[in-house]
């Protein structure tokens, strides 16, 4: 496979991240006592223009679950989309980290929740001990189908959540792509959530995601949970370094813009084949088995998406020529 | 602190590991589908001269707990030393990963278990449902006090364990230092355990430990558990690369030998101050507060060990001159 | 409320059960060491005409969850109907007892699973660590809508389960009503499941359900789990006594027949109002708010079932005159 | 065995409790919606002369664990005596209910904690994420050796606990015996704990213990936890009835006084054989194997307590003549 559109998950590490890793090589305090880890709160507080507390973690799954575990008791429930990553692709990790708390599944176009789809889950729940009560809502920015919540959509969900005393979590594995698409500030793209998994690995990092707590008291609990989950790495400076590199000069945004631009270029060639509007770096394209075969013969790598479609993902390192080639190949089918 | 004897946990990454990391940078399959991850079984099978299955994990805590979770049901117990890392320093991670299974604490000189100390725990346990029944034994090679189990000691414990149908786990965060000290084969240093946490991070790695399953069926369960614990990193090739680098040309052994040699040099100067024979890369040295102050003024870094002692740890990168200086400084007290 | 059709859950205790309780009053060995508890295996083995091992538990929720916990690891999944009691009405107990294992929800008319509805859940699950794999199927006999699995339906599901190496659990909170309806042997009504929650409380008991393990080795694990869940009562003879009383002279069947007969009498008056065929002791009847109000004015007790229906439940003690009165009242609407 | 001193756990049910059970037989709302369950708060608030919220549970293990689960997060620890029931005899139930939280074991004469023994556990714990932090203290009134905390001892422990922001739980499986011995008010015997397991089963009940929450908000959480643990029985009125019967006319106290008096009578005959002062209804008596054999030949039932002692337990129904006979038999050895 020479033209990779399989996943941003497997892309190489950005040169600036390598630089930061190598620069972190001198000995420093173990765990998260090093200077780089200690400066994360400051760096992200600047990004979000408010005081936040930040922990690194090695995967998005860990980031999501450590965040949720601070928001939901073992006997509670989390409302999320039926196709959310925490429901579909994390191997039951929320059940593990939340000690059996339940995911309460909601509908919504483009894998996005709406106030109505949330209400459709909550409203039938009897307020008694026989039914698991909702304690939090988890949204994904950008969604599993690469769709972005507009700030006003987040505001509506937040209002609904606050009225029901529900906490709010955002899975931001592709938060950068969403922010790049929305063109708003990071704070606006995050809305008023309590905790955000801020993804870096898909965006040029090696092994570090950030868990951003907008209520620093939650971070204090999460630190114990992180250790207890075996996620407190002893040489934490190598994780912190990646995050700092991503924030420096807004590389997280420029990398995401590059990925989004490549996706947009391909999207323009897909016309009616698109199953979802392309707002981030994922394309879901109707393609027959024969058409997919033709593309694969041209060395394009991608996943099948059911019997009649394919998923293409661009990344920070997608080459202009590859995006163009794919666009032309699809146009020529 | 310019002369670091604080912890091997915080040492830099070995140049050969950096090389391996950079060499792994090309895109490959995500998670553990990459070529390097796929070759780990083979590499470790060669090392142990028998078929093993190997998973990487980001921390020793995760490695220990993922291994134990395959050996012990939630209602069971694990016999370990009262001062074992899993009991004292993992933030309750075994309770989390084993769903409330219990650590059953045994005594033993130098933080090593003996058949007698194990029996002293097991024998009073009534064989009824009111008491937690033992399902596994966990030994640490080298122990928390840098003491090594001789192959015949492991054999005795194994015999005892098998007679009681107990599984055996080895925490090998410093397995390399033990193997280097014992001068025996890796297989002999591991004995007949079911699962071994093979440490690399303290020995020149960045963020990868190996969980070695001597029964490959256990690895199949552990793979689900690893994902569920958020430890299946998306760019797994960067972890596998570290492990391969450690095994290449037996660097794991040469690094450990260097650390052990530095420790031995310092030990020779400590005389009656040593609280434990020095068999690996840790020294526990009786030193008054004043004496510790004197050493710190000379820029030696180390942890206090209670009111009247200090712990010094050497690492793969301990400079000959620093070890010599510390030896002289202690001798001169 | 003088004419109770609210729930069989709240019915009084049958006089024969009272007799048995009082007869058990002499001191005996604590927990389940008493003679009555010790004879349960024998009594239920006779009932099912094969060797079984039986534990008592205080609730159906505990019985279901203790059974499932022996069949499914924490990282696994249980296929059940979207409206199954374990999903809807047990306050998340399966998540607690199974340590976060997941309920995988299937469709099916009358809250009954079918081979097709099970396949519709299983087939899309990728066989990789990112998705929770099914380990068991749980069926409810009679279902949440009072529908009964015919022996041949169970056989089909069993065949499907065995082919996928899935264990089988049956929630038999109303097993007696199902067996009475089916007119077959208890063994046929249970099919080839691995564990059955055999309900007694709704059928004239006070506080005892039976967990029937068709593989006695599972019972050995369940005994530890039961203690660990705080369900090993110290005066277990009072639970065992209830179960023996139910089995004596097939009172479990005669009680269920009485309840079913009362339900059938009412059903005959409901005509097209019935939402589900009445096969056990529950009736789901389309009734407008006004109609429900009229019935309540006549002192009939029942639950609303959504905006336009009501649920009526008969029990072992439903008086002929009350059933008749309800039938006439509905017919007269 | 005609003279039972084996355990109060297996004693028959008190006639007044039978009366109450039978009186509760009419149908009422299921679960804890019945009138008797609804009046528990009031009854216990009167007993403790302050507002409390009360839940019933079927066992002491469930009562202890449901209480502790409201006080301690999964990543926390509970300080208890090394010989506490929750540590030694509950089959790991705290690990299950508290999701892996840890019991931190303290010493203390007579299985009673002291401020000093608590400090000896807490003080060495480093305030970092690598070590499990204490969140609660659990005391047992009367202790495993039948020893009672005086109000001033409880006050000292409470002061210590509050200073460290630790919650306080009391296992009162034999609270009645302690209160009877102390001669103080129930409130004084309970001290200022947050939650109390108020035992009834050993004291003439059948299957009901009370969990008394001195902070009603905790009870709200416990109600969800109880359902989730399968401990919300459907005919809860039969549990509530037992508790009301125990409180009526202070039967809980008179039953305990009877048991204590029998124990005191036997104790008077034991002289230097007593291993612990007898303050409640348990006697730990040094007796050689031969002496125990002699007693058993006289049809006294009891447990061995190690190789050279025996445990005798009196109960509400211990006959004067049996106590006298045992006293004489021991005196005559």
Three-state secondary structure along chain B? CCEECCCHHHCCCCHHHHHHHHHCCCCCCCECCCHHHHCHHHHHHHHHCCCCEEEEECCHHHHHHHHHHHHCCCCEEEEEECCCHHHHCCCCHHHHHCCCCEEEEECCHHHCCCHHHHHHHHCCCCCCCCCCEEEEEEEECCCCCCCCCCHHHHHHHHHHHHHCCCEEEEEECCHHHHHHHHCCCHHHHHCCCCEEEECCHHHCCCCCEEEEECCHHHHHHHHHHHHHCCCCCCECHHHHHHHHHHHHHHHHHHHHHHHHHHHHHHHHCCHHHECCCCCCCEEEEECCHHHHHHHHHCCEECEECCCCEEEEECCCCCCHHHHHHHHHHHHCC
Residue D28: the pLDDT is 87
Does the beta carbon of C131 lie under 8 angstroms from any beta carbon of chain A? yes
Both tokens of residue B158? 């194994």
Instruction: Give the residue on A whose Cα is nearest the Cα of C131.
Output: A91
For residue B2, pLDDT over 80 is answered with no
Distance CA D61, CA C231 (A): 8
Distance CA A211, CA A213 (A): 6
Rounded to a whole number, what is the distance in Å from the CA of C128 to chain A's nearest CA? 9
User: Cβ contact (<8 Å) for B11 and A4?
Assistant: no
Report which secondary-structure segment, H or E, holds C178: helix C175-182
> Chain A contacts of C94, Cβ < 8 Å?
100
Burial class (CB in 10 A: 0-12, 13-18, 19+), B44: buried
Residue A2: the pLDDT is 74
Inter-chain Cβ pairs, chain A and chain C, closer than 8 A:
57
Q: What is the pLDDT of residues B70-121, one digit of tens each?
A: 999 999 999 999 999 999 999 999 999 999 999 999 999 999 999 999 999 9
> Chain C contacts of B55, Cβ < 8 Å?
none
Question: Which of D73, D130, D224 is the closest to A129 by Cβ?
Answer: D224
Rounded to a whole number, what is the distance in Å from the CA of D306 to chain C's nearest CA? 20
Question: Which of D75, D130, D227 is the closest to A129 by Cβ?
Answer: D227
User: Cβ contact (<8 Å) for B74 and C99?
Assistant: yes
Does the beta carbon of D11 lie under 8 angstroms from any beta carbon of chain C? yes
∠ CA A37-A38-A44, nearest 5°, is 80
Question: How many Cβ atoms sit within 10 Å of the Cβ of residue D123?
Answer: 7
Those residues of chain D that have pLDDT short of 50 are none
Does the beta carbon of C94 lie under 8 angstroms from any beta carbon of chain D? no
Those residues of chain C that have pLDDT short of 50 are none
Question: Which of C18, C91, C235 is the closest to D228 by Cβ?
Answer: C91
Q: How many CA atoms lie within 13 A of D16 on its CB side?
A: 17
Torsion from C-alpha of C106, C111, C114, C117, nearest 10 degrees: -20
Mutate to test the interface with D, among A129, A133, A231 (most CBs of D within 10 A): A129
> Chain C contacts of D238, Cβ < 8 Å?
13, 206-207
Residue A270: the pLDDT is 97
Does the beta carbon of B129 lie under 8 angstroms from any beta carbon of chain D? yes
Does the beta carbon of D183 lie under 8 angstroms from any beta carbon of chain B? no
> Chain A contacts of B199, Cβ < 8 Å?
none
Instruction: Give the residue on A whose Cα is nearest the Cα of B2.
Output: A27
> Chain A contacts of D99, Cβ < 8 Å?
74, 99
Residue A3: the pLDDT is 85
For residue C215, how far is the Cα from the chain centroid?
Answer: 20
User: Cβ contact (<8 Å) for A61 and B227?
Assistant: yes
User: Cβ contact (<8 Å) for B30 and A12?
Assistant: no
For C265, the 3-state DSSP assignment is helix
∠ CA B123-B126-B132, nearest 5°, is 95
- Judge whether C20 and C245 are in contact, CB under 8 Å: yes
CA dist B36 to A13, B195, C47, Å?
16, 21, 58
Mutate to test the interface with C, among B66, B129, B228 (most CBs of C within 10 A): B129
Mean pLDDT of B267-288: 97
User: Cβ contact (<8 Å) for B227 and C133?
Assistant: no
Question: Which of D94, D100, D102 is the closest to B99 by Cβ?
Answer: D100
Mutate to test the interface with B, among C69, C75, C131, C227 (most CBs of B within 10 A): C75
User: Cβ contact (<8 Å) for C13 and D235?
Assistant: yes
Mutate to test the interface with A, among B4, B8, B9, B10 (most CBs of A within 10 A): B10
- Judge whether A278 and A261 are in contact, CB under 8 Å: no
- Between positions 288 and 317 of D, the ones with CB within 8 A of A are none
Does the beta carbon of A216 lie under 8 angstroms from any beta carbon of chain C? no
> Chain C contacts of D230, Cβ < 8 Å?
57-59, 61-63, 65-66, 90, 93, 97, 229, 231
Tell me the average pLDDT of chain B.
97
User: Cβ contact (<8 Å) for A89 and C130?
Assistant: yes
Those residues of chain A that have pLDDT short of 50 are none
Does the beta carbon of C77 lie under 8 angstroms from any beta carbon of chain A? yes
Among candidates B196, B204, B298, which has minimal Cα distance to B258? B204
Mutate to test the interface with D, among C3, C10, C35, C85 (most CBs of D within 10 A): C10
Question: Which of C75, C90, C94 is the closest to A92 by Cβ?
Answer: C75
Using pLDDT thresholds of 50, 70 and 90, give the confidence band for residue B28: confident
Question: Which of A91, A94, A132 is the closest to C92 by Cβ?
Answer: A132
> Chain A contacts of B91, Cβ < 8 Å?
224, 227-228, 232
User: Cβ contact (<8 Å) for C10 and D27?
Assistant: yes
DSSP state at residue D235: B
> Chain A contacts of D74, Cβ < 8 Å?
74, 99, 228
For residue D292, how far is the Cα from the chain centroid?
Answer: 27
> Chain B contacts of D89, Cβ < 8 Å?
130-131
Residue C106: partners with Cβ closer than 8 Å, 6 or more residues away: C79, C80, C81, C82, C113, C117, C118, C120, C121
């Amino acid at each position: 496979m020479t033209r990779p559109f399989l996943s941003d998950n497997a892309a190489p590490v950005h040169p600036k991240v390598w630089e930061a890793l190598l620069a972190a090589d001198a000995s420093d305090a173990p765990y998260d006592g090093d200077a780089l880890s200690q400066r994360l709160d400051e760096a992200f507080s600047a990004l979000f223009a408010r005081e936040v507390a930040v922990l690194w973690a090695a995967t998005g799954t860990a980031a999501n679950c450590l965040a949720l575990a601070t928001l939901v008791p073992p006997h509670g429930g989390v409302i999320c989309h039926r196709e959310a990553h925490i429901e579909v692709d994390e191997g039951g990790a929320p059940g593990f980290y939340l000690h059996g708390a339940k995911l309460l599944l909601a509908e919504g176009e483009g894998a996005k929740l709406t106030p109505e789809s949330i209400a459709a889950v909550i409203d039938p729940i009897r307020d008694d001990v026989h039914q698991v009560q909702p304690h939090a809502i988890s949204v994904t920015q950008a969604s599993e189908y690469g769709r972005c919540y507009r700030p006003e959509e987040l505001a509506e969900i937040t209002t609904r959540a606050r009225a029901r005393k529900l906490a709010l979590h955002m899975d931001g594995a592709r938060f950068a792509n969403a922010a790049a698409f929305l063109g708003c500030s990071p704070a606006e793209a995050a809305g008023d959530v309590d905790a955000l998994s801020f993804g870096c690995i898909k965006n040029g990092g090696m092994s570090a995601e950030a868990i951003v707590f907008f209520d620093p008291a939650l971070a204090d609990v999460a630190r114990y949970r992180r250790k207890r989950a075996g996620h407190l790495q002893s040489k934490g400076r190598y994780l912190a370094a990646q995050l700092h590199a991503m924030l420096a000069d807004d590389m997280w945004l420029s990398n995401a813009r590059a990925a989004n631009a490549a996706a947009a270029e391909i999207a323009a060639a897909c016309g009616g084949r698109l199953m979802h509007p392309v707002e981030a770096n994922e394309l879901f394209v109707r393609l027959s088995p024969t058409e997919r075969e033709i593309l694969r013969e041209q060395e394009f790598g991608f996943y099948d998406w059911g019997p009649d479609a394919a998923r293409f993902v661009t990344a920070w390192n997608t080459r202009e020529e590859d995006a163009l080639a794919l666009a032309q190949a699809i146009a020529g089918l």
